[in-house]
Amino acid sequence: MTIESYLDWNDISPKKIGDATEEQRKASAIKDDAAYYIAYFESGLDDFIECVDYSLNKEVFDAILGKASDFNDLFEPCCQSGLLGCYMMSQLPKATYKGIDINRTVISRARARALGNAVNPESFDVADLLRYNQQHEAVVGRYVVNGLNHNVRDDMIEALAGISKNIILAQPVQASDRSIAVPLYERSFNRHGYSVDAVTMPIKSEATGSYVFVIKATKH
């Protein structure tokens, strides 16, 4: 299955910012992290942003897939409604996958999405990354180690460091210049014993105006 056919099957199609509902606009203006993520899912802003960033998602999903294909045990923290996770399972059927999110509502949606994609819904579970202690061969994910202001959350990287030696993440930055943006993540990964092995060119998000790159870090 191609990424285009996968997104189409999951009702993700190109949209523009102007197509947002009033509720979604209000949700996008919230500055508090906790309040934002409640409204983010309740308003359907999560799926709407996936549609606005349709072209970006195609590149990001396949970039993550390409870097994760060498691993047989994948863990996705903050998996949201399972869009990336179900794609990974459909493309890497021999690999095991575990997705967690602290939000029960989105885990219910992830399990429903899994059923619709003929993958195991029990692959998704409610859990807090900061309290998670299982080991996995590789971490994959999107927007896991940053807050709303794109600040790098060192506590999240510390949590991931206790889970896996291999981390593959799509992360947003404000600038398209890698020499400015990427060191913010490199320094934090380095503090926890990782080296950054590969970084894709940043891709602009039409939904947020930020740039997204895929980074692979390895603990030696």
DSSP 152: B
CA-wise closest residue to 5 among 52, 71, 62, 64 = 62
Place of tokens 């195991």: 120
Domain locations in the chain?
Answer: 3-51, 54-219
Radius of gyration of the chain (CA): 16
- Tokens 């906790």, located at residue: 34
Which stretch, 35-49, 87-101, 168-182, has highest mean pLDDT?
87-101
Element (H, E) at 107: helix 104-116
Residue whose entry in the numeric block shows the structure tokens 């996008």: 28
Q: Give per-residue pLDDT as tens, 157-210.
A: 999 999 999 999 999 887 776 666 678 888 899 999 999 987 888 899 999 888
DSSP class of residue 174 equals S
- Distance between CA atoms of residues 77 and 172, nearest Å: 16
Q: What is the pLDDT of residue 32?
A: 87
The CA-atom distances, in angstroms, between 17 and each of 20, 33, 125, 137, 171 are 6, 21, 31, 38, 21
Q: Residue 37: pLDDT band by 50, 70, 90 thresholds?
A: confident
**Facing residues of 125 across strands?**
100
Look up residue 14 and give its two tokens.
């190109």
CATH code for the structural domain at 54-219? 3.40.50.150
| Dist CA 38 CA 33 (whole Å) | 9
For 197, phi then psi, to 5°, come to -90, -30
The predicted structure's pLDDT at residue 30: 93
Q: What is the structure's pLDDT at 183?
A: 81
Tokens representing 35 are 């309040």
The neighbouring-strand residues paired with 64 are none
Q: What is the pLDDT of residue 1?
A: 85
Q: Which run of H or E residues covers position 53?
A: none
pLDDT at 149: 66
Cβ atoms of 20 and 51 within 8 Å: the answer is no
